[in-house]
Structure formats: C-alpha cells, structure tokens
C-alpha cells in the first residue's frame, strides 16, 4: 500500500513539476520580455496600469506547494526504494530550495517592481533590481530543471521496476 501511495505521489510530483517549470518557462519567454525589453522604461510602463499587472502567484502558489508536498511525501514514502532514492531526494530538495528562494528573494523584488510603483526609486535603481531579478531567475530555472528532471528520472526508474514485477 505504501508503495502504491508513493507511486501516486511521484506521478503528482512529475505533473506538478511540469506545470511549475513549464509556467516559469512561459514567463521567461512571453512575460519577461514585455517588462524588461527597455529598462527602466519598459518595467515602468508595464506597471503604469495596476489593474492590468499580471499576478502569477495565483498560478504558481498552488502549483509550487503541490510540487513541494508531493516531492517531499514521495521521498518519505519511497525512501526504501533504493535506486531511485537519490532522484526522489534531489527532486524534493530542489522543490524546497526553489520555493524558499522564491519567497525570500523574488517576493520582495516583485513588491518593488510590480506592486509598489517603485517606492520612489530612480530609473537606474529600478534597472539594477530588474537585472538582478532576471539573473536570479536563470538560477531558479536551473534549480527547477534539475528538480524536474530528477522527478522524471525517479518516475522512469519506478516504471522500469513496475515492468519487472
């Protein structure tokens, strides 16, 4: 029974990772260029009409929490699974690190760039914050890619084990 629950959690983790990682890639390719194409003017214009500012938290919050919980519970319940344990561990750690990084680093920057109308900052200061946000986002993409592919690898090993049984 524990093995079956671990398999279901792993499946949920893979789906959640794909949504979280895919959503971030969409944001990088579609949304990011809209507000970062000509700093600081582009981000200031993006934020000129607060009623039109995109609120990605509505999508990312439930997906991130689902990814973290399913990865962590999958690791706990699948701990005795030997050859996929490292992949479950890597997936769970990456999910936790990504969520923590987002909360600690990105949320304060998002407040300045997208919600507080720049809190009296100069254009140069806004550009510096925006560029650091973009650089840090690439770090977040890399961490998420590792976590997502670790979950996929664990799922692949789980599928191979199921085929042998």
**What value, to the nearest 5°, has the Cα angle with vertex 26 and ends 21 and 30?**
160
pLDDT at 163: 61
- For residue 28, pLDDT beyond 80: yes
First-to-last C-alpha distance (Å) of the chain:
15
pLDDT at 2: 86
Q: How far is CA 51 from the centre of its chain?
A: 25
Under the banding of pLDDT at 50, 70 and 90, the label for residue 22 is very high
Query: What is the tally of structural domains in the chain?
Result: 1
31-37 own/partner pairs: CB under 8 Å, 24+ apart: 31/56, 32/134, 32/137, 35/113, 35/130, 36/130, 36/134
pTM score > 0.75 for this model?
Answer: yes
Once rounded to an integer, what is the mean pLDDT over residues 87-93? 97
**What value, to the nearest 5°, has the Cα angle with vertex 117 and ends 115 and 120?**
135
Of the CA atoms within 13 Å of residue 33, those in its CB half-sphere come to 4
Of the CA atoms within 13 Å of residue 117, those in its CB half-sphere come to 5
Nearest to 17 by CA among 56, 59, 63: 63
Of all residues in the chain, what percent carry a pLDDT higher than 90? 73
3-class secondary structure, 64: helix
pLDDT at 162: 62
Average pLDDT of the chain to the nearest whole number: 91
pLDDT at 89: 97
| Least confident segment among 66-75, 85-94, 149-158 | 149-158
- For residue 47, pLDDT beyond 80: no
pLDDT at 38: 95
**What value, to the nearest 5°, has the Cα angle with vertex 45 and ends 29 and 127?**
70
- Residue-range definition of the domain harbouring residue 82: 2-164
């Amino acid at each position: 029974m524990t093995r079956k629950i671990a398999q279901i959690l792993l499946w949920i983790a893979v789906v959640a990772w794909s949504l979280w990682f895919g959503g971030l890639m969409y944001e990088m390719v579609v949304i990011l260029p809209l507000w970062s194409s000509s700093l600081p003017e582009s981000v200031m214009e993006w934020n000129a009409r607060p009623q039109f500012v995109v609120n990605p938290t509505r999508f990312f919050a439930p997906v991130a929490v689902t990814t973290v919980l399913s990865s962590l519970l999958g690791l706990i319940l699948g701990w005795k699974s030997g050859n996929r344990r490292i992949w479950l561990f890597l997936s769970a750690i990456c999910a936790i690190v990504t969520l923590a990084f987002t909360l600690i680093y990105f949320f304060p920057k998002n407040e300045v760039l997208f919600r507080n109308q720049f809190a009296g900052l100069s254009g140069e200061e806004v550009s510096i914050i925006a560029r650091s946000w973009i650089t840090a986002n690439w770090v977040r993409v890399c961490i998420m890619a590792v976590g997502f592919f670790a979950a996929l690898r664990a799922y692949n090993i789980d599928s191979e084990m199921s085929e042998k049984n």
